[in-house]
Amino acid sequence: MIYATPDDWLNAPNKRVLFYGMSGLGKTHVSNMLRASGSWFHYSIDYRIGTHYLGERIADNAKAHAMKVPFLRDLLMSDSIYIGSNITFNNLTPVSTWLGKPGDVAKGGLPIDEYRKRQAMFRQAEIYALRDTGYFIDRARTLYGYPNFICDTGGSICEWVDGTDDDDDLLQELARHCLLVHIRGSEAHTQELIRRFDKAPKPMAYQPEFLDAAWADYLTETGQQETQVDPDAFIRWAYARALAHRAPRYAAMERWGIAVTADEIATVSDAPGFDALIASALARRG
């Protein structure tokens, strides 16, 4: 770890952290708060994915839908209108819309083969974006003059690394640059996330092996063909299973850094409070 003790952290002239954990537990909230303090650069992995690695594919997906409407098709073909995505740190909908949901095309789903292709492209884009962390640390300091740095990761980071493997290349690289901080949820948080997801299901990235098993189990359980699956019904069904699948993977990553609870993060209202929380977590870790 780049900070081994509370004093290491508190006395560091350049603080660098990477947040990970389930989506909805406060990663982006605390990142926005620190950015607003004026001395922290906020690097959003999902924003990098949507604007750099998948930006053209996301725009082309929107254009493909527009091309089905004769009025818009004529305007696009004559370069009379422009279609792009308006991605922000707090609005990553274009990324999730492109990722999509598998199932009945008439209900907004994607054929499973196309869905798997997009999952693979997202996985590669996320790994590339994570590997860009060191570049953005240098950029934030040398170009913009920010002394401190936050890497705000997506919920799927645990799918692409193995926290139990001392030789995991991606974790080694990230740990060289940042203090890895797990925002850990409780069982009550998990149930609340499931309730929210059931109300408004959103596309997710899955480990390929998990997706294949979940898809096969769902088809067997429902007796449906691939083209009959209601996309929202499937991802609702898969969500609690995905959280259970991810929980031990997040926990295994903690040996590479520290953990704080979502309740602790929720009490942080300014940069000094955040510094104190990280120092406390380092002290707990020993």
Tell me: pLDDT of 86 over 80.
Answer: no
Beta bridge partners of 150: 17, 42
> pLDDT tens digits, residue range 177-229?
999 999 999 999 999 999 999 999 999 999 999 999 999 999 999 999 999 99
For the cut 80, the answer to whether the pLDDT of residue 270 exceeds it is yes
Instruction: Read off the pTM.
Output: 0.92
pLDDT number for residue 65: 82
Instruction: Give the CB-side neighbour count of residue 132, counting CA atoms within 13 A.
Output: 20
Q: Has residue 91 got a pLDDT over 80?
A: no
CA atoms within 13 A on the CB side of 33: 16
State residue 18's pLDDT score.
98
Within a domain: residue 47? Answer: yes
126 domain residue, yes or no: yes
User: How many H helices and E strands in the chain?
Assistant: 15, 5
φ, ψ for residue 78, nearest 5 deg: -100, 10
Percent of the chain with pLDDT over 90: 83
Give me the mean pLDDT over the 61-71 stretch.
85
Assess if residue 179 is contained within a domain. Answer: yes
Q: How confident is the model over 122-133, as pLDDT tens digits?
A: 999 999 999 999
Asked whether residue 85 carries a pLDDT value surpassing 80, the answer given is: no
**In angstroms, how far is CA 210 from the centroid of its own chain?**
17
- Assign 31 a pLDDT band (cuts: 50, 70, 90): very high
Question: Among 52-61, 143-152, 156-165, 267-276, whose mean pLDDT is lowest?
Answer: 52-61
Domain count of the fold of the chain:
1
| Phi, psi of 22, deg, nearest 5 | -60, 140
- Whether residue 1 lies inside any domain: the answer is no
Cβ–Cβ under 8 Å, residues 207 and 285: no
45 band by pLDDT with thresholds 50, 70 and 90: very high
pLDDT in the model for residue 89: 67
Contacts of 129 (CB under 8 A, 6+ apart): 45, 48, 49, 52, 53
CATH number at 122 reads 3.40.50.300
Q: 102 near 204, Cβ under 8 Å?
A: no
Mean pLDDT value of segment 233-246:
96
Per-residue pLDDT at 266: 93
Instruction: With beta carbons less than 8 A apart as the criterion, state whether 41 and 144 touch.
Output: yes
Q: Which residue segment(s) compose the domain that 110 sits in?
A: 6-285
